[in-house]
Amino acid sequence: MNATAVLYKTKRWTFTAIKYVLVIAFCVIMAFPFFWMVSNALKTNDEIWAVPPVLWSADPSWSNFIEAWNAAPFGLYMFNSVFTATSIVVIQLINSSMISYALTHMRFPPGRFILVMIIVTYMLPVSATYLSGYVILSRMGLLDTYAGLIISNSVTIFGIFLLRQAFLQVPKEMVEAAKVDGCGHWRILWYIMVPLTRSTLIVMGLLSFIAMYNNYFWPMLITKNPKLQLVSAGLRSFFIEGGAYGLKWPLIMAASTFTILPLVILFLIAQKWLIKGVNSAQSINK
Amino acid sequence: MNWRKKLGEPQAYLYCLPALVPYTIFWLAPMGYVMYLSFMEWDFINPVREFVGIENYVKLFQDQKFYKALRVSLLFALGNVIPCLAGGLLLALLLYESAFQRFEVGEASSVAVVMIVILAIISSLSMYVSRRRIHYV
């Protein structure tokens, strides 16, 4: 081995080492708030306020989780959030893929106008429609119902846009071939387009689920009944009532910890699909 | 026939329906409705709405709070988007060129360090600024 090769090798090694150090540092920065949340859930109030911060409690009190779970109807809140978010995601996936198919693979000249209109409204701030959206929802008698929560969120402009881009990537020849073989639009959509763009659909569903699970302002506006509160609003009311305005920090942190659990589980499940999806998405890009 | 060609396949309308109906009810209709309400004097409860023309707009443009909110929003958007996009892209490009194409690890790491320092300065500055603004409001 000559000198240049050795130098080259050391250079690459240092480069890899530096890369790993940077990546690990970044991971630590990103993960620290979550670690801090869990560790604070196990501390006593005094340990939380201790001035050289205590990293991990000397005597972790796991009972904080049980106490927090019993202090407010978190099971109900989480059911509400998961239920509404799941229904919204299912509806959004179906109607977005239908409209995207019509916009991309059907002979449909007014589609351009519809697309432009949809993209223009995407740029308008959502908060501008809160006021009149509330009035419209109350006229429909859907205030304070699951149906109102679900229907008012059942269309995602970003999702339509995302899916349209994905459907455009599917070669026209494939659709033509299916037509020749005697497929109608309905079958082309569900048996060819959807499997081919599975990755985008999963990403869209995931993003939408996270957004809906974390949704705070709009659900709080349109529901009054405490039994219909979503997890974010429930956490806030727990913070005010059960947590006595932030006096019981360990309980609040414990409650926060188990409210993010569904999202963590979802990510762990979807991760495999995401990586698979990226690969198949590449193979359909001619 | 010509109009048939222009309208496209009838099935396409059916496919648009499930998305376009909620879209109309919860995006378009509120937009139109809010425009309509902006010319009215109404308190949500009273069944009678009074048409007042552009009086509400006159009131709004005389309100100092509106200008303040507008300024803060603009500042926030610009301060968020421009450094993120331009700075991120430039630094990433520099990093890519020096590290991945020429294997100049030292140079690349200096870029990374400068990136971190700049990010720290920007975030502490924005924290300081936003704190000041929030307290004043």
For residue A47, give the nearest of A245, A257, A249, A255 by alpha carbon: A249
Q: What average pLDDT score do residues A232-250 get?
A: 74
CA gyration radius, chain A: 25
3-state SS class at B40: strand
- The CA–CA distances, whole Å, from B23 to A117, A156, A215, B72 equal 11, 8, 19, 30
Mean per-residue pLDDT of chain A: 83
Residue of B16, B25, B102, B119 to mutate for A, most A C-beta atoms under 10 A: B16
Partners of residue A185 in chain B, C-beta under 8 Å: 11, 15
Question: Are A132 and B30 an interchain contact pair (Cβ–Cβ within 8 Å)?
Answer: yes
For residue A250, give the nearest of A67, A43, A15, A11 by alpha carbon: A43
Residues paired with residue B40 on neighbouring β-strands, in sequence order: B51
Q: What average pLDDT score do residues B47-69 get?
A: 84
pLDDT of B46 over the 60 cut: yes
Cβ neighbours for A259, distance < 8 A, ≥ 6 positions apart: A74, A77, A78, A231, A235
Choose the weakest-confidence range: A113-117, A144-148, A245-249, B121-125: A245-249
Find out whether A143 and A218 touch, Cβ atoms under 8 Å. no
Query: How far is the alpha carbon of B130 from chain A, nearest alpha carbon, in Å?
Result: 21
pLDDT at B38: 84
Which range has the top average pLDDT, A54-68, A180-194, B51-65, B101-115?
A180-194
Cβ neighbours for B115, distance < 8 A, ≥ 6 positions apart: B91, B95
Nearest by CB to A114, which of B5, B16, B29? Answer: B16
Q: What average pLDDT score do residues A55-69 get?
A: 80
Element spanning B52, H or E: none
Nearest by CB to B33, which of A18, A99, A135? Answer: A135
pLDDT of A169 over the 80 cut: yes
pTM higher than the cut 0.80: no
Using CA coordinates, name the residue in chain B closest to A118: B23
pLDDT at A285: 43
Q: What average pLDDT score do residues B81-107 get?
A: 73
pLDDT at A244: 55
For residue A74, give the nearest of A176, A221, A227 by alpha carbon: A227
Residue A25 amino acid letter: A
Using CA coordinates, name the residue in chain A closest to B10: A108
For residue A66, give the nearest of A257, A219, A281 by alpha carbon: A257
Choose the weakest-confidence range: A47-56, A166-175, B62-71: A47-56
Phi, psi of A276 (to 5 degrees): -60, -45
Find out whether A151 and A142 touch, Cβ atoms under 8 Å. yes
Question: Are A129 and B26 an interchain contact pair (Cβ–Cβ within 8 Å)?
Answer: yes
Give the Cα separation of A227 and A137 in Å (integer).
Answer: 19
Size of interface A-B (CB pairs under 8 A): 103
Using CA coordinates, name the residue in chain B closest to A185: B11
Interface membership of B19 toward A (CB under 8 Å): yes
Give the Cα separation of B25 and A18 in Å (integer).
Answer: 54
Partners of residue A142 in chain B, C-beta under 8 Å: none
pLDDT of B1 over the 70 cut: no
pLDDT at A93: 94
Q: How confident is the model at residue A245 (pLDDT cuts 50, 70, 90)?
A: low
Give the Cα separation of A151 and A142 in Å (integer).
Answer: 9
3-state SS class at B41: strand
Partners of residue B25 in chain A, C-beta under 8 Å: 136
Partners of residue A121 in chain B, C-beta under 8 Å: 27-28, 31
pLDDT of B137 over the 50 cut: no
Find out whether A193 and A167 touch, Cβ atoms under 8 Å. yes
Residue of B23, B46, B103 to mutate for A, most A C-beta atoms under 10 A: B23
What ipTM did this prediction achieve? Answer: 0.75
Alpha carbons within 13 A on the beta-carbon side of A116: 5
pLDDT of B99 over the 60 cut: yes
- What share of chain A has pLDDT > 90, as a percent? 13
Q: How confident is the model at residue B52 (pLDDT cuts 50, 70, 90)?
A: confident
Residue ranges of domains in chain A: 3-63, 73-284
**Lookup: tokens for A271:** 């991760």
For residue A40, give the nearest of A49, A52, A31 by alpha carbon: A49
Phi, psi of B51 (to 5 degrees): -80, 125
- Domain A73-284: give its CATH architecture: Orthogonal Bundle (1.10)
Cα A81 to chain centroid distance, Å, stands at: 12
pLDDT of B118 over the 50 cut: yes
Query: How far is the alpha carbon of A11 from chain B, nearest alpha carbon, in Å?
Result: 7
State pLDDT tens for residues A5-14: 787 788 788 8
Question: Are A109 and B6 an interchain contact pair (Cβ–Cβ within 8 Å)?
Answer: yes
pLDDT at A282: 47
Interface membership of B42 toward A (CB under 8 Å): no
Q: What average pLDDT score do residues B98-119 get?
A: 73
Find out whether A113 and A194 touch, Cβ atoms under 8 Å. no
Residues paired with residue B41 on neighbouring β-strands, in sequence order: B50
**Angle, in degrees to the nearest 10, between helices B10-23 and A110-123:** 20
Interface membership of B43 toward A (CB under 8 Å): no
State pLDDT tens for residues A71-121: 888 889 889 999 999 999 999 999 999 999 999 988 888 888 888 888 888
Q: How confident is the model at residue A277 (pLDDT cuts 50, 70, 90)?
A: low
3-state SS class at B50: strand
Residue A77 DSSP symbol: H
pLDDT at B116: 77
Partners of residue B103 in chain A, C-beta under 8 Å: 8, 11-12, 15
Q: Which of residues 64-123 of B touch A (CB under 8 A)?
A: 99, 103, 105, 108-109, 112
For residue B48, give the nearest of B40, B38, B59, B57 by alpha carbon: B40
Beta pairing class for B50-51 and B40-41: antiparallel
pLDDT of A286 over the 50 cut: no
State pLDDT tens for residues A10-39: 878 887 888 788 888 888 888 888 888 888
Widest CA span of chain A, in angstroms?
82
Partners of residue B20 in chain A, C-beta under 8 Å: 99, 114
- The CA–CA distances, whole Å, from A279 to A163, A199, A269, A285, B103 equal 17, 9, 17, 10, 29
pLDDT of A284 over the 60 cut: no
3-state SS class at A43: coil
Question: Are B11 and A106 an interchain contact pair (Cβ–Cβ within 8 Å)?
Answer: yes
pLDDT of B136 over the 70 cut: no
Residue A247 DSSP symbol: T
For residue A88, give the nearest of A227, A234, A205, A262 by alpha carbon: A205
